[in-house]
Amino acid sequence: MTRIREADKSHRPGTRAIHAGRIDDLNAGAIMPPIYQTSTYRQEALGVNKGYEYGRTHNPTREAFERNVASLEGAEYGFAFASGLAAIDVLMKLLKAGDHVICGENVYGGTMRLMVRVYEQFGLTFSFVDMRDAEAVARALKPTTRMVYCETPTNPMMFLTDLKAVGDITQAHGLLFAVDNTFASPILQRPLDFGANLVMHSTTKYLNGHSDMVGGIVVTRRDDLAERLGFLQNASGAVPGPMDCWLALRGTKTLPLRMKQHEANGRQIAAWLTTQKAVKKIYYPGLATHPQHELAKRQMKGFGGMISFDVGDPERARKILGGTRIFALAESLGGVESLIGHPASQTHAAVPLAMRQAMGLTDSLVRLSCGVEEAEDLIEDLAQAMD
């Protein structure tokens, strides 16, 4: 179980991103954390060691990464996993058969698949509710409810959950409140400050930021949850390799810088989309026309680089998706390079059609992950694809 050190709590986010979790390399004084590419550690005598016995349980490179992200989220403890879904899998393992979970109805398709197709088999039950309305959480409460789970902003509809309002409900009822903070990153939003007890990320996305590894992380402030998460991380064993931790840790150093550029591009492209006749609807919390823009300003420090827009006709969407040259047609998000995607057939194909339609996730919806290239080039690219 990795706990941050006092030193990891000092300074502001931009400085923490670079220094928190640092390994002081006594061998050579390396500035970069060494990649401890080892499965086991030499023991001085039976039961005498440096705190490291086996690679699934402990790895110094992994710990440096866990401390770094925990520090950025304002948490005390961090637990890295082999993927975002492996992290969510462990969140589910905090529960037991008979427990009920209230989950936002618009979550990553794989999250819903894990809940419904894996964990319902083990006796967990789920209610999927529209968490734009905090009261919907109160209405869905049952005597067996143990956890509330949400994403905000959501993928791909950019719905927001009022973290403070839901945090108050979960606190009043003694429930766990878990938030997938992948879209915002800790630079734009820190759910623990609003009453969440658990925050997870697909580190594959903004935290690593370079589309060259797959990973996940869970952070918390609570000692009791950390105890159990540490146990589960080791007992279930879906840990990331040291090289992937090193890559992600290299990524978080520039997270504050990258988020500034993602955000600047997101705002500029969203504003441009509002001027386009072909665009029927735009979903971006940074636009004053977004129904939850005021909430976004209250709980986020910025609006990020994710934009969805509806062109009203699936054939038109298909042409745009096939016509961009800088925006690559690909799943995933949060990398330095811009991506364009089609949620209905890619990331959210596993979500039942009726549910997709009810929330506006149509076949003509296009999702952009604005990278950190020059906004003018990105706009020209979209313009020629829409032409």
Ligand X SMILES: *Cc1c(COP(=O)(O)O)cnc(C)c1O
Give start and end residues of each alpha helix (H) in the chain.
13-19, 60-73, 84-92, 109-113, 134-140, 163-172, 185-188, 223-236, 242-253, 255-273, 293-299, 314-323, 353-358, 375-386
Nearer to ligand X, 112 or 282 (CB): 112
Answer yes or no: 56 catalytic.
Answer: yes
CA distances from 208 to 20, 211, 384 (A): 16, 7, 30
Percent helix / strand / coil, the chain, rounded to 5: 40, 15, 45
Among the listed residues 2, 59, 61, 83, the single contact to ligand X using CB under 6 A: 83
Residue nearest to ligand X (CB): 84
Q: Which amino acid is at 297?
A: K
Please report whether residue 85 would count as binding ligand X according to CB under 6 A: yes
List of long-range contacts for 28-34, beta carbons under 8 Å, 24+ apart: 32/250, 33/60, 33/61, 33/64, 33/246, 33/249, 34/60, 34/61
Taken in order 130, 132, 136, 141, is the CA torsion positive or negative?
A: positive
Q: How far is the CB of 204 from ligand X (least distance, A)?
A: 4
Is residue 108 annotated as a catalytic residue, yes or no?
yes
Distance of CA 320 to the CA centre of its chain: 27
Which residues share a beta bridge with 367? 308, 341
The CA distance from 112 to 85, in Å, is 10
* List 59, 155, 233, 252, residue binding ligand X (CB under 6 A): 155
Q: How far is 117 from 168, CA to CA, in rounded Å?
A: 30
145 binds ligand X (CB under 6 A): no
Give the nearest distance from C-beta 180 to ligand X in angstroms. Answer: 5
Q: Is 310 helix (H, G, I), strand (E, B) or coil?
A: strand
The one catalytic residue among 36, 77, 108, 283 = 108
Binding flag, residue 361, ligand X (CB under 6 A) = no
CB 277, min distance to ligand X, A: 31
For 79, phi then psi, to 5°, come to -140, 110
Site for ligand X in 192-221 (CB under 6 A): 202, 204-205, 214, 216
Stretch that binds ligand X, among 81-89, 127-135, 290-298, 360-368 (CB under 6 A): 81-89
The residue among 60 and 216 lying less far from ligand X, judged by its C-beta, is: 216
154 Cβ contact list (under 8 Å, min separation 6) = 104, 106, 107, 160, 183
3-state secondary structure of 220: strand
Q: Which is nearer to ligand X, 236 or 276 (CB)?
A: 236
Q: Candidates 51-59, 82-90, 133-141, 278-286 — which segment interacts with ligand X by CB under 6 A? A: 82-90
- Piece in contact with ligand X (CB under 6 A), picked from 65-73, 79-87, 126-134, 302-310: 79-87
Closer residue to ligand X (CB): 155 or 233:
155
User: Which one from 22, 56, 260, 301 is the annotated catalytic residue?
Assistant: 56
- Asked, as a colleague might, if the bond just before 156 is cis with ω within 30 of 0, I would say yes
Tell the smallest beta-carbon distance from residue 313 to ligand X (Å).
Answer: 26
Task: Specify the stretch interacting with ligand X by CB under 6 A; choose among 28-36, 108-116, 228-236, 313-321.
Answer: 108-116
Given candidates 151, 162, 263, 310, which one binds ligand X under the rule CB under 6 A? 151
Q: How far is the CB of 214 from ligand X (least distance, A)?
A: 5
Cα–Cα distance between 368 and 85 in angstroms, integer?
22
Q: Which stretch binds ligand X (CB under 6 A): 178-186, 218-226, 312-320, 364-372?
A: 178-186
Residues labelled catalytic: 56, 108, 180, 205
Instruction: List residues binding ligand X (CB under 6 A).
Output: 83-85, 108, 110-111, 151, 155, 180, 182-183, 202, 204-205, 214, 216
